[in-house]
Amino acid sequence: MESAQALNLGGQVRLGGYEMTLTDVGAVEGPNYIAERGLVRIVGRDGKLVCTATPERRFYPAGGQTTSEVSICPRGLDDLYVVLGERRAGAKGEPAWVVRAYVNPWVRLIFLGPLIMALGGLVSLSDRRLRFGVARKPGVTS
C-alpha cells in the first residue's frame, strides 16, 4: 500500500490501519549537506503511537544534488516507510510538503528464502549415500 499527499503542518493521511500526521518540519545542517527534516507521528487503529518518523530531504551544495532520506518504522514482520518530498504551496498559500508513505507487509520474510535454501544444503550433505566420492580405477581394491 502506498500514499502520496501534500500535507501542511498538522495535515493527516490514512494508510491501511495507520494515521500519519506531519507535526513539524525544521532545517538541519549536516557535515556536507543542508536538510529539511520532517517529524511524522504514526498512530495505529487503537490510537496508540506506533512510531515517530523523521524523514529528510537533503541538498548537497558541492554536487548540486537533492536526495531523500527514508525513515523506516519496523513493525514485526512489516515495515512502514515515510519519505519527505519537495515543498509546495498549500491550499491557503501556506507551505506544504509531499509526504509519501508505504506499508510493506511481511517484508522481513524476504530473508527466510535464503535461510531455507542453506538449511536444505546442510541437510543434503548429512546423508553419506549422496556424497560424491573420489573416482577409483577399475580393478583396484582397497
Question: pLDDT tier at 64 (50, 70, 90 boundaries)?
Answer: very high
Domain assignment present for 12 = yes
Domain assignment present for 58 = yes
Residue 11: the pLDDT is 94
Asked if the model's pLDDT at residue 135 lies above 70, the reply is no
Asked if the model's pLDDT at residue 134 lies above 70, the reply is no
Asked if the model's pLDDT at residue 9 lies above 80, the reply is yes
Domain assignment present for 96 = yes
Domain assignment present for 140 = no
Domain assignment present for 13 = yes
Beta bridge partners of 67: 58
Domain assignment present for 45 = yes
Question: pLDDT tier at 121 (50, 70, 90 boundaries)?
Answer: confident
Question: Closest Cα partner for 50 from 101, 90, 124?
Answer: 101
Q: Considering its fold, how many domains does the chain have in total?
A: 1
Segments forming the whole domain that contains residue 82: 2-129
Distance CA 30, CA 36 (A): 11
Domain assignment present for 136 = no
137 versus 96: which is more confidently predicted?
96
Domain assignment present for 142 = no
